Amino acid sequence: MANTVLLFGQTDRQLKVMATQQDFEGRMARKEIQRRKMVGYCDGTAIDYVDPNAKFVEPESTVGKQRINGVVQ
């Protein structure tokens, strides 16, 4: 686990990009992300902005309606 020490200097955004790799570095990045979640560490670089004024469009409910070949009747 000596390679884990190399990931301490990476930002959350860099780790998020590295975590998609399917090799040893990706595995260590995923472990580092999990470790940071457990200790409650966040440097704020991987937080996606969510607009609080955005309108949420809820689809019409299909509860109680029949489906024939995937089409709501």
Q: Where are the domains of the chain?
A: 1-47
Assign 1 a pLDDT band (cuts: 50, 70, 90): low
pLDDT digits (tens, 9 = 90+) for 42-73: 888 888 787 888 888 888 888 888 888 888 77
pLDDT digits (tens, 9 = 90+) for 15-48: 999 999 999 999 999 999 999 999 999 888 888 7
Could you give the CA distance from residue 31 to residue 57 in angstroms, rounded to a whole number? 36
Question: For residues 66 and 73, is the Cβ–Cβ distance under 8 A?
Answer: yes
Check residue 48 and report its DSSP letter: P
Check residue 14 and report its DSSP letter: H
Question: For residues 19 and 33, is the Cβ–Cβ distance under 8 A?
Answer: yes
Mean pLDDT of the chain: 86
